Structure 1
Amino acid sequence: MNVLGGADFGRLVGAMRAAESRQQIISDNISNADTPQFKRSELVFEELLAEQMNESGHRSLGGIRTDKRHFEIGPSNQIPDSKLVTDETSVINNNGSNVDIDREMALLAKNQLRYNSYIQQINHEISMKRMALDGR
């Protein structure tokens, strides 16, 4: 039995991995802020996950698969892959770069808070499952 293999736990792990990747991308943007013609990149994950979970207000019917050969009905439980998006159109600095260091630092802080909340949620899930298994 795979205790930690549920869809919710998988989404948390996927979100944590996206936050790790986002940390690298934001750090790359910050380190290249003064590089001429550098274009900033951004990682999109939460928006894709929200679409996947159908949180945009369009609730649909879901079905229960009793056999793995059956088609899925309703939203999928698969975790979407994050997508790297590069802004090629804007220019902020005189050197042709579009990196706003203040914005990137704010995004870095926001991502750190998001990552910490994912870790807390994962730890909570694990402790709840451990408590259920131990009976304490």
Structure 2
Amino acid sequence: MDLFGGTISNLEQSLNYSATKNRTISSNIANVDTPNYKSKEVVFKEVLNDTLSNSFHAKRTNPRHIPFNSSKGAGHQIITNNRTTYNHNGNNVDIDKEMSELAKNQIYYNSLIDRINGKFGSLQTVIKGGR
């Protein structure tokens, strides 16, 4: 029996994604002047599409058979962008793009924190008996 219906687990995975994205963006910003540094980004959509295209379903011939679900890890990965070069030193970090991505990610992270705080607040209210 799942006590929270998977909500806390989904929020935890989303927080992990956001934290990874924040570390990646921070690394890109820190290396903005490093020669030949190639920017990195965290992708989710490509992993999802790959999982969906490679998914397979096991046929259950009897309702007593155990259901078979495939799972492929964290759901996000870090890729390096080797296709472009913006600076004369071989670096491809666009500081304006990185700063806007950082702001977007911070808003996303804060909304996740608000949501998980609401879940824990509801749980605390139930534990206290509605007081």
Structure-2-length-normalised TM-score: 0.75
State the 1:94 CA deviation: 1.5
Residue 71 of structure 1 is matched in structure 2 by: 67
Distance verdict in 2 for CA 1:9–1:78, change over 3 Å: farther
Contact 1:91 1:97 (C-alpha < 8 Å) held by counterparts: yes
Residue 34 of structure 1 is matched in structure 2 by: 33
> What is the distance in 1 between the residues matched to 2:129 and 2:41?
44
State the 1:78 CA deviation: 8.2
> What is the distance in 2 between the residues matched to 1:99 and 1:118?
28
Which runs of 5 or more residues in structure 1 are unaligned? 55-65
Superposition RMSD on alpha carbons, in Å? 2.9
Residue 126 of structure 1 is matched in structure 2 by: 120
> What is the distance in 2 between the residues matched to 1:40 and 1:48?
17
SS at match of 1:42: strand
Distance verdict in 2 for CA 1:78–1:134, change over 3 Å: farther
SS at match of 1:84: strand
Give runs of aligned pairs for residues 34-113 of structure 1, distance below 5 A. 34-45=33-44, 47=45, 70-72=66-68, 80-113=74-107
SS at match of 2:35: coil
Distance verdict in 2 for CA 1:77–1:96, change over 3 Å: closer
What are the Cα deviations for residues 50-100 of structure 1, in whole angstroms up to 9, with x where unaligned? 76xx8xxxxxxxxxxx97x61147xx7887432011111111112111100
Residue 18 of structure 2 is matched in structure 1 by: 19
> What is the distance in 2 between the residues matched to 1:17 and 1:135?
32
Contact 2:41 2:78 (C-alpha < 8 Å) held by counterparts: yes
Structure-1-length-normalised TM-score: 0.72
Distance verdict in 2 for CA 1:50–1:135, change over 3 Å: farther
- Is 81-90 or 26-35 further displaced after alignment? 81-90
Contact 1:10 1:79 (C-alpha < 8 Å) held by counterparts: no
State the 1:127 CA deviation: 1.1
> What is the distance in 2 between the residues matched to 1:127 and 1:20?
23
> What is the distance in 2 between the residues matched to 1:132 and 1:112?
30
Q: Select the structure of larger CA radius of gyration.
A: 2
Which runs of 5 or more residues in structure 2 are unaligned? 53-62
Contact 2:42 2:77 (C-alpha < 8 Å) held by counterparts: yes
